[in-house]
Structure 1
Amino acid sequence: MKFKTLALLALLSLGVVSCKEKTVSDQENSAVTQTKSGNLTTDELKTEINGITHRSYAAYNPDLEGPLPVVFVLPEWWGLNDYVKNRVHQLAELGYYAVGVDYYGDQKVVDTPEEAKKLASHFYEIPIDARRMFDAAKHQVSLVDKADYNKMAIIGYCFGGAQALNMGRISDDFKGVVSFHGNLSTGIRAKNKSVQYLVLNGAADEMVSQEEIASFKKEMDSAKIKYTFIDYPDAKHAFTNPKATEIGKKHGLDIAYNKEADEKSWNEMKKFLEEIFK
């Protein structure tokens, strides 16, 4: 899922977009989902951009007092599927207001690499649209009483990992960014030093070259940005997704699930979030 990208200078000056939808404080779209740790409340955060309704998926534990730190979850190029929603639930169980961001609109999910590439490449090639869409979701979160807008982080997977790094590069609204098996070089360079990075990479990921890794580290070191880079032995692209091996075989993609790397990387993320939200 690697594309040649085009960075737009206008991206750096783009502000938060306004939203036409009413605020989510009415919570008319809320529902309760039963989980092993109790009841989670889920919200659908809607905003309209260019005639498309984006329906980001949020979850939190209503029994926890006060505003909760916010963690955005940016999906693989397949879209806002059940895998992403499960990650949102896991983060909510950890005590966060977690938000799975709907990039494609109407929670669209695709099944083939051809469809995914067509939709995802737009955000690589026109990153100003990625910023506009993400800022709309972020604005909706700012209207939620249960969300602490002063404590925000982003995690992302594959396509979402690259997008998470980009948002951290151009905005200081976040305490930290976590990339799981995401591409590292997108044509956008870091402009601030306040965001910390945790990059969780598969050492056997053929979609992230050694040259790309070296370039990313040079970028971070040159900008004097605090980051941690972890390589997981024998882990390929998409190593956190339990369905990756099956998907890879079906579509001829060099991706595979790695249980050990999945569990270790999730624990690294948990420690990272606890540290940045102190």
Structure 2
Amino acid sequence: MNRLLTTLILAGSASLAQADMATRAVDYHIDGEVFQGLLVYDDSVTAPRPGLLMVPNWMGVTENAAKKAWRAAGSDYVVFIADMYGRHIRPADAAQAGAAAGAVKGDTELMRTRVNAALEVFRQEAAELLDTSRMGAIGFCFGGTSVLELARSGTALSSVVSFHGNLDTGLPAQPGAVKSPVLVLHGADDPYVPPQQVADFEAEMRNAGTDDWQLLSFGGAVHSFTDPTANLPGQAMYDARVADRAFRQMRLFFAETMALPVPDTSR
């Protein structure tokens, strides 16, 4: 696989405002098409760290996605933000994002191919930074859906966490397929993930023969509760309290599944 590696150190960027945050853009190919993901990590840490593949929301690889990766990872993890659309598709608004995300979500095999390819690129391109025995995946909204497909595809990771992602799928997990512990962080009042979809997901996990899954519903929360830009009351709305709780649950889950020290969950 031919890849062009571009290094972008944004530690001094006022817009990102993080002294130790570094990013590195990574070009890669899937079936002849060029994609560009983004590594996010603390470049002051020299020891290998666990890795988190992150699939962002439907806006794709953006500065906001990098900020969210930094919030999730800090100095404890290396994050690779996967490109699910292709390097030349960067949605400018919700309409373009909906079209791009819909094209991928509507083809479950394509979604699984792209998210698994991004994971392999991550392992190769960040090998010097990673403790590859501790690898997880996180996703937000469309990205939450994507990492659940990663788990359904049979990829074995230390853990997979979905934040306010859709739970339906075109290819339900087959018995024995799910090999990764799964945590779903869900808004109890999310209108895009109705109770029947939640019930169907629970039945799917049981039918898949795995008991290492959790679904945590946050009362009063709707879609996009971790996204500070979400502002559609009753539909997609940021909730700072729920976001803090969700990130704490993620860190505790990783500590358990990756055999890490119990983290300071106050941040």
When the two structures are superposed, what TM-score results if normalisation uses the length of structure 1?
A: 0.82
Once the 2 structures are TM-superposed, how far is the Cα of residue 50 of structure 1 from its aligned partner?
5.0
Once the 2 structures are TM-superposed, how far is the Cα of residue 107 of structure 1 from its aligned partner?
7.0
Any conservation in 2 of the 1:193–1:225 contact (CA below 8 Å)?
Answer: no
Instruction: Give distance in 2, aligned partners of 1:91 and 1:259.
Output: 14
Once the 2 structures are TM-superposed, how far is the Cα of residue 193 of structure 1 from its aligned partner?
4.3
Q: Which amino acid aligns with 2:223?
A: H
Question: Does residue 172 of structure 2 align to residue 189 of structure 1?
Answer: yes
Which of residues 109, 115, 120 is equivalent to 1:139? Answer: 120
Any conservation in 2 of the 1:80–1:108 contact (CA below 8 Å)?
Answer: no
The verdict on how the C-alpha distance between 1:274 and 1:94 changes in structure 2, with shifts beyond 3 A counting, is farther
Please identify, of 204-213 and 183-192, the stretch whose mean Cα deviation from structure 2 is larger: 183-192
Match of residue 149 from structure 2: 166
Which of residues 180, 184, 191 is equivalent to 1:199? Answer: 184
Which is helix-richer, 1 or 2? 1
Q: Which has the higher contact order (CA 8 A, sep 6+)?
A: 1
Q: Which amino acid aligns with 2:131?
A: D
Once the 2 structures are TM-superposed, how far is the Cα of residue 108 of structure 1 from its aligned partner?
4.0
Once the 2 structures are TM-superposed, how far is the Cα of residue 182 of structure 1 from its aligned partner?
0.6
Match of residue 99 from structure 1: 80
Match of residue 4 from structure 1: none
Once the 2 structures are TM-superposed, how far is the Cα of residue 48 of structure 1 from its aligned partner?
2.5
Which of residues 239, 251, 254 is equivalent to 1:273? Answer: 254
What pairs up with 1:205-220 in 2 under 5 angstroms? 205-220=190-205
Please identify, of 127-136 and 205-214, the stretch whose mean Cα deviation from structure 2 is larger: 127-136
Gaps of 5+ in 2: 260-267
Once the 2 structures are TM-superposed, how far is the Cα of residue 141 of structure 1 from its aligned partner?
1.8
What pairs up with 1:1-278 in 2 under 5 angstroms? 19-21=1-3, 29-34=7-12, 38-49=19-30, 52-106=33-87, 108-143=89-124, 144=126, 145-190=128-173, 191-222=176-207, 223-245=209-231, 248=232, 254-278=235-259
Q: Equivalent pairs: percent with the same residue? A: 24
Any conservation in 1 of the 2:186–2:216 contact (CA below 8 Å)?
Answer: yes
Q: Deviations over 1:50-101 (max 9, x none)?
A: 5542111112223334322110111111222222111222234141111111
Any conservation in 1 of the 2:55–2:146 contact (CA below 8 Å)?
Answer: yes
Instruction: Give distance in 2, aligned partners of 1:40 and 1:259.
Output: 22
Alignment RMSD (CA, Å) = 2.2
Instruction: Give distance in 1, aligned partners of 2:112 and 2:168.
Output: 17
Once the 2 structures are TM-superposed, how far is the Cα of residue 30 of structure 1 from its aligned partner?
4.4
Any conservation in 2 of the 1:175–1:277 contact (CA below 8 Å)?
Answer: yes
Please identify, of 46-55 and 76-85, the stretch whose mean Cα deviation from structure 2 is larger: 46-55
Match of residue 9 from structure 1: none
* Aligned length in residues: 251
Once the 2 structures are TM-superposed, how far is the Cα of residue 233 of structure 1 from its aligned partner?
1.1
